[in-house]
Structure 1
Amino acid sequence: MFEESTSASEKRRGVGDDPTPVGLKFGSVRTVVARPEDDAVQTTVALTCSATYQDPLTGKRRAVYGERAANEYPDRAQFMLQSELAEDNERATVTRSFLETFAQTNDIPPNSAVVYAIPSFDDRRTTLDAIIEESISGRLLDGYSTAMCESIPVFGSDLDAFDRIFTTIKMGSTNLEACVYRRGEQLAPFSTGSVRGCEVDRWIINNVEEGTQGRVHIDRTTAREYKEGRTNCDDIQPLFDDTTGSGAAQKSTVERSVTDAIDRYVKEAVDEIANEFLPRLVSRSIKIYKRVLVEPIVLTGDMAVVPGLREAFEDRLSSELQRNIVVTTPAEPITAAARGAQRIAGRLLETGAY
């Protein structure tokens, strides 16, 4: 039901006297859990989506989740966190069911200390907190901002991020966020819903339809896979009417559709950072502004996995600010937040802070 992306073995750590430190990222696109296994940290990844269908024998509505939902029902797979939970009780119910199934499927020990990554500046936080607490009840729980959790693996193998001053830009599916972290303290937090990673999927779909004069339609799952470089553009060629042009021209249409959509996103993101976030930071402290711009900016979020996006953002922001800006990303953007949260959980257990 769920895809396990990293697993050294089938063996799972059982329930013991000492709580197991667990990190959880409940994200708009993916949900990830990180936990210790065989003296290492292993991660499990699932798409945060569901789809329902009617059982032909019983007539009852049934649900499938994760990769199975996206692959078997691409036309109606629902990514639950890409709209406001508070405005939709049915969506909140589906979200709760998804997380309960994820926790059961992946055997999160009842005797565990779970740190979960939460949106940094999002009004869904209260709703998400409640859903997480209900879905994985009986475990010790604490939440830290997603951007901080994702940044922890960037700065070594410990929790050095809490001793540094740096800027994060979180390119999420539903929001663009930016913040300076000063030894864990948030300075000049900025968030906007006008630049959304999930919109890139829609732009790709529209670009492909326009480029093929309406002969080809791709679903959102396929668009996301193109965006993230997980599906080669060659794979779509059989869908094209070959009488309209050569295979090379067809491949070029798809590639251009993806590139144009990502370029548009980068341009809009840089405009928001350069013209909204950074002026806000200047008004807060010109000294902090000058300091953080000579340090690498940590780029996180769902869009951080897009090939070439970091370089494109770095180049455009450097040009906009007329200075050399260095942008970095976690080595494993998809699992970074859960890994960072798991380290926090381990430290909280060590120090007795729970």
Structure 2
Amino acid sequence: MSDADSTDTTDFDDQDAPTPVGVKLGSTRTVLDLPDERDGRERHSTLTCLATYEDAITGEEKALYGHDAAVEYPDSVRFMLRSGLPENDEGVADAEAFFEAVVDAHDVPADSAVVYAVPTIDNEAGVENLKAVIEGSSVGEAAVRSFPESLCGAIPAYGDGLDAIDEVFVSVNMGSTTLEACAYRRGEQLSPFSTGSVTGNEVDRWIVAAVEEESQGRVHIDRTTAREYKEERADVYDFEPFTDVVQQPGGGSHEFTVDRGVRDPVDRYIDDAVDAVANEFLPELANDHMKPYQLALGRPIAVTGGMACIPGLVEEFEKRLSAELDRDVEVVAPDDPATAAAEGAARIAERLV
């Protein structure tokens, strides 16, 4: 397993209570938010993927999870939640094995209170499959609860504690498999919206195509490499072209420069996200709940999810959304938008215990 840097947050004082755990079992990354040894909190992130291979000595099939699987087996690695939820029995089995490996690697106690984030997707069977994976695991004996991902992610965006639960606001989750938007009134969902056409996964595909076009067909990268370009190189305002090297099929190597191959897909994503929020979600919210709509736009809009981690994206989204709506709109994001859902879920778990 490959962990992100640990981040301290709230205190955990009652060591006799069940361990409060926040979980985001995501399409690209899975995040656990746990108490640390210093009475604080830490978050662990790993890629939600696995690869199977044959043991060179015994011939038995073995599985490799997370970052190592993506790096060592980029052509065969399986992201078992590509659509955001386990779709079938095979996906459920993969997700169960993966989640058990993750909680075991981080010594999550069985006597824990687990709160997990659920994406806003119109897929009742998939949601039930996710519920089966989490609630059927070896953790969460004290309690298991689920809350909307866009709510969990917005909680850290509005500061410490659970202040967001008592407010009226709009949250936009810029995830890998969906763009979600929802208004909340004291925790109640109003006009939940999601689309699979504006996603981080789409940006990865656009980068693959754009790099091939930029190199005049000489370079073809896989989606794992495209995701790495996006996460490690993309920057809305201060992007710098970079070079990479690929091996030629007939031998030797080819060095190439990436410029518009990353910039154009990110720019396109921001435009599409603004269009979806301004011209699809917000009109529906205004039509269904005019007063909460007015109240929500008077407060900052919370933006979370992996795409919000790209430097400058939140600021540019605010700028373009304000122009599209012809009014000043403030947009805020948590310190780490990619792990915010697990952090918010953990704060709810702390309240429950």
Same-fold call, TM cutoff 0.5: yes
Residue of structure 2 equivalent to 1:181: 184
Q: Deviations over 1:257-306 (max 9, x none)?
A: 11110111111221111221111011112222222222111111221112
The answer on 1:343 being equivalent to 2:350 is no
Query: What's the offset of the Cα at 1:240?
Result: 8.8
8 Å contact from structure 1 (residues 114, 345) kept in 2: yes
Alignment of 1:292-311 (within 5 A): 292-311=296-315
- Calculate percent identity across the aligned residue pairs: 50
d(CA) in 1 for partners of 2:180 and 2:138?
27
Distance 1:204 1:79, change over 3 A: same
How far apart are the structure 1 equivalents of 2:331 and 2:101? 37
CA distance in 2, matches of 1:348, 1:296: 27
| C-alpha RMSD of matched pairs (Å) | 2.4
2-structure distance, mates of 1:160, 1:225: 35
User: Taking structure 2 as the reference length, what is the TM-score of the superposition?
Assistant: 0.88
Q: Which moved more, 1:87-96 or 1:229-238?
A: 229-238
- Is this contact kept in 1: 2:23–2:30, CA < 8 A? yes
* Aligned 1:181-330 pairs, distance under 5 A: 181-229=184-232, 236-239=243-246, 250-251=256-257, 254-330=258-334
Point out the more displaced range, 231-240 or 162-171.
231-240
- Bigger fraction of residues in helix: 1
Per the TM alignment, residue 329 of structure 1 is displaced from its structure 2 partner at its CA by 0.9
Give the 3-state SS of the residue equivalent to 1:135 in structure 2: coil
- In structure 2, relative to structure 1, the CA distance for the partners of 1:269 and 1:7 (3 Å cut) is closer
Q: State how far apart, in whole Å, the 2-side matches of 1:289 and 1:205 are.
A: 38
| TM-aligned CA deviation for residue 40 of structure 1 | 0.8
Q: Return the alpha-carbon distance in structure 2 between the equivalents of residues 162 and 138 of structure 1.
A: 23
For 2:135, give the aligned amino acid: E
Measured in 2, the distance between the counterparts of 1:162 and 1:301 equals 19
Question: Could you tell me which residue of structure 1 aligns to residue 105 of structure 2?
Answer: 105
Per-residue CA shift, 1:133-190, capped at 9, x if unaligned?
A: 1223552211111111111112221110111111001111111111111110111111
Deviations for 1:190-243, whole angstroms, at most 9, x for unmatched residues? Answer: 1122222201001101110111122212222221121123589776433399xx
Are 1:146 and 2:153 an aligned pair? no
Whether the 8 Å contact between 2:167 and 2:185 is mirrored in structure 1 is yes
> Partner of 1:244 in structure 2?
none
> For residue 161 of structure 1, what is the amino acid of its counterpart?
A
Unaligned runs of 5+ in 2: 249-254
The aligned length equals 336
Counterpart residue type for residue 187 of structure 2: G
Q: How far apart, CA to CA, are the structure 2 residues paired with 1:43 and 1:115?
A: 14
**d(CA) in 1 for partners of 2:241, 2:313:** 21
- Label 1:92 to 1:322 Cα distance change in 2 as closer, same or farther (>3 A): same
How has the CA–CA distance of structure 1 residues 333 and 87 changed in structure 2, closer, same or farther, with 3 Å as cutoff?
closer
Q: Is the 8 A contact 1:115 1:142 kept in 2?
A: yes
Contact between 1:115 and 1:144, CA under 8 Å: does it hold in 2?
yes
2:68 is matched by which residue type in structure 1? R
Tell me if the contact between 2:120 and 2:193 (Cα under 8 Å) persists in the aligned partners: no
SS at match of 1:110: coil
CA distance in 2, matches of 1:62, 1:233: 40
Cα distance in 2, alignment partners of residues 178 and 211 from structure 1: 33
Q: 1:342 and 1:53, CA in 2 relative to 1: closer, same or farther beyond 3 A?
A: same
Paired amino acid for 1:203? W
Asked if the contact 1:50–1:98 (Cα under 8 Å) also holds between the matched residues in 2, the reply is yes
User: What displacement does 1:30 show?
Assistant: 0.8
- Residue in 1 that maps onto 2:158: 155
Secondary structure at the counterpart of residue 329 of structure 2? coil
